Homo-oligomer: A and B are copies of this chain.
Amino acid sequence: MSKPGLMPVEDALDQLLAMANEQRLPDSEPVPLNEARGRVLASDLVATLDLPPWPNSAMDGYALNLADLHRQPLSVSQRVYAGLAPDALLPGTCARIFTGAPLPNGANCVEMQENTEVLEDGRVRFLQPLKVGQNIRAQGQENRVGDTLLRAGKRLGPFELAVAAGQGMTHLPVVRRPRVALLSTGDELVEPGQPLRPGSIYNSNRTLLDHWLRELGCEVIDAGILPDRPAQTRLKLEQLQVAADLILTTGGVSAGDADCLGQVLRDNGKPLLWKLAIKPGKPLTVGHFGTVPVIGLPGNPTSALVTFGLLARPYLLRIQGVEEVMPLSFTVNAGFDWAKPGSRREYLRVRLEGGQAALYPNQSSGVLLGATWADGLVEIPENSTLRMGDPLRFIPFSELF
């Protein structure tokens, strides 16, 4: 049970995915395989080729027809290399054959060379019992023409692209990149490379999210840092809504006087300020500016990390048509005691050491360094205490990119 008034993360995810299902990107474009990594397949990939395209040998050895076995030793009538079209097998003979080479018509068995004896006159004696189909990779064993190899909505990595290459394809239809306008709010922010003013800090969230968005196939519209003034905020959002599929902001969403993004959204759209039952990451703004969805992440780097990874990431995959948007998670054992139950579910930065989850010492939401030290997040359920060795749900960071 979460604290009354706080939204469980599952409910937030359900609402965001429902929103994403309404906003799926309709456009697709063909891209060359060498540029398709990280993109999402726009339509089913259907096989145009049997794989293997013809029966071939799984071994270096000899191809024969078993009906000829009683006539052994058999003379070798041809040598069949991979990549060459063989002649039909001359009756009463065998063919020298190599791994991957196509089976000659008329052959129905391959024996590996280790189980044969080559006589002085070159004829071959077969030393072991043989059976039809032995050491032959049948045509279409991997797939048949017309088989669906990959479903629309599949994220394309090296394996998927290699499957397309194996069909002889050079391009794949992919969903167009989501255009995400990335906005940082806060007068305190200065971009790296600029001098730091008194009272200010460098903007790290833009870098965090820029790279992460690109990992997820997005095109990033760098919309800069928004001053904490309503008129300028409104003007900026009006410009961005023309180009963007999503406006993603960090900061400026808590309830303080200085949070003018929320004010502008309230004036212009239908914002929802969610108080999530998670820590870090409590405040999340979800809404629209005109017709463009807006997700407002908290400004603390680790809060931005957790809310982006758990909520915005699935949203951005789903608008690209990805069905399986949740990261794999695993059960690991706590390498620490947790004595103080919290009313919010807590996501802690941990490293796996000797099979146990070791805590980064400083779990403050302002401290991003812990994420570089850690292997992933463990989840401490609401209202729970833990003892060293207790099982915990672990999400590897590698699953979040």
A82 at the binding interface (Cβ < 8 Å): yes
Copies per complex? 2
Residues of B within 8 A of A154 (CB): 372
With A164-B207, A207-B162 already in contact, the answer to whether A142 and B366 are too (CB < 8 A) is yes
Residues of B within 8 A of A44 (CB): none
* Cβ < 8 Å to B, chain A residues 73-114: 81-86, 96, 98-102, 113
* Cβ < 8 Å to B, chain A residues 159-180: 159-170
A256 at the binding interface (Cβ < 8 Å): yes
A386 at the binding interface (Cβ < 8 Å): no
A133 at the binding interface (Cβ < 8 Å): no
Q: Which of B84, B158, B371 contacts A212 (CB 8 A)?
A: B158
Residues of B within 8 A of A332 (CB): 330
Chain A interface residue count, Cβ-Cβ cutoff 8 angstroms: 97
Contact A158 B215 (CB under 8 A): yes
Q: Which of B100, B170, B209, B257 contacts A186 (CB 8 A)?
A: B100
A301 at the binding interface (Cβ < 8 Å): yes
Nearest-CB residue, chain B, relative to A143: B369
Residues of B within 8 A of A201 (CB): 51-53, 100, 166
A128 at the binding interface (Cβ < 8 Å): no
Q: How far is the CA of A204 from the CA of B54 in the complex (A)?
A: 16
Contact B101 A199 (CB under 8 A): yes
**Among all A-B residue pairs, the 3 with the closest Cβ atoms:** A83-B188, A83-B187, A85-B198
